[in-house]
Amino acid sequence: MSQGNSQESNVQTTGHVWDGDLQEFNNPLPAWWLWSFYATIIFSVVYWVAYPAWPLGDSFTKGITTITYKNDKGVEKTTHWSTRALLMKDLQDARESQKKYFDMVAATPYEQFAKNPELSNFVASAGKVVFADNCAACHQSGGQGKMAFAPNLTDDDWLYGGTHDKIQASITNGRHGIMPAKGGADLNEGEIESLANYVLSLSGEKMDAAKIAVGDELFHGKGLCIACHGADAKGNQDIGSANLTDKIWLWADVPAQGSADKKVAAVKAVITSGLNKGVMPAQNGRLSADQIKLLTVYVHDVLGGGSKK
């Protein structure tokens, strides 16, 4: 400490002395810091006046800043500054800037979309965002679907129909595909084996001729398959039963199987346990009518799987 004492300076001390010689320098704050501090105090007073700030019992000071927005009924309202009113105004402003396009979406009949390049561009970009947020989790980001879970939306095969109206109905009300175990019929292991052979032969697989013959009989008879899949096995879009003749598989992963035996096993598994997991949640209530129409056009026109009939 003796060395410290020898370096006397002109800086003032606080006047406190400990242990006889321990002192505290009193260095004043830099002027820029001090003035910045005063400025923040002045700012806080301005803030109290402008925005909601001080609690007063069961209420609070509202501030003098106001926000003007339209309520759900379109009536203009002015209120004190609040994040909720600000959001309503933000959403209305955003809506206003896209109004031109959403008005066009609402007013344009489905088949006219492709003829308007500006509207097509809007559907391609805005539809992609809505699809990514709400559809891609099951149908995947490109609409390619997922084996044994969600159908491909880019091909020409549609369980419930690929017209604009049918797609819109699927999105709005959701879908729930059901196949009873063993088709609801009383089938033994061998009969299911024969049916699987027959079903695979429908889409061009080379199968055992004897089993195909037995399966054919079961399909159109005791197996009750035609009740849903139809006598020509081409399915029925009114009830969402699959077309079994088009080489497109959703629940039995036939294309991934290397051998005929494994293909039979995959189809047998579906026939044996039936299906009850083809559930698409209804988007009605979650999405607006405009968003659903946008998605319908996106799925039909942009993903490219839509059909005319």
List of residues contacting other proteins (CB under 8 A): 16, 52, 55, 57-60, 71-73, 77, 79, 82-88, 90-91, 94, 133-134, 137-138, 146, 149, 276-277, 279-281, 285-286
Gap between the Cα atoms of 150 and 146, Å rounded: 5
Question: Which secondary-structure segment (H or E) carries 56?
Answer: strand 55-56
Q: Is 2 helix (H, G, I), strand (E, B) or coil?
A: helix
CB-based contacts of 188: which residues, under 8 Å, 6+ apart?
A: none
Q: Cβ 55 to other proteins, closest distance in Å?
A: 3
Gap between the Cα atoms of 305 and 303, Å rounded: 6
Q: Cβ 173 to other proteins, closest distance in Å?
A: 13
Question: Helices 117-134 and 289-297 sit at what angle, rounded to 10 degrees?
Answer: 110
Smaller CB separation from other proteins, 14 or 259: 14
Smaller CB separation from other proteins, 37 or 60: 60
Whether residue 203 contacts residue 245, with contact meaning beta carbons closer than 8 Å, is answered with yes
Q: Cβ 100 to other proteins, closest distance in Å?
A: 18
Nearest to 72 by CA among 59, 50, 91: 91
Smaller CB separation from other proteins, 90 or 186: 90
Go through 169-192 and write b for each residue having 16 or more CB atoms within 10 A of its CB, e for each that does not.
Answer: bbbbeebebebeebbebebeeebb
CB-based contacts of 104: which residues, under 8 Å, 6+ apart?
A: 116, 119, 122
Q: Cβ 49 to other proteins, closest distance in Å?
A: 18
Q: Cβ 86 to other proteins, closest distance in Å?
A: 7
Smaller CB separation from other proteins, 82 or 154: 82
Q: Which neighbouring-strand residues pair with 236?
A: 241
Smaller CB separation from other proteins, 138 or 228: 138
Q: Cβ 87 to other proteins, closest distance in Å?
A: 4
Q: Cβ 12 to other proteins, closest distance in Å?
A: 16
Q: Cβ 79 to other proteins, closest distance in Å?
A: 6
Smaller CB separation from other proteins, 262 or 277: 277
What's the gap between Cα 32 and its chain centre?
52
Region of 279 please: left (phi>0), alpha (psi -120 to 50) or beta: beta
Smaller CB separation from other proteins, 88 or 242: 88
Smaller CB separation from other proteins, 43 or 149: 149
**DSSP 8-state code for residue 121:** H
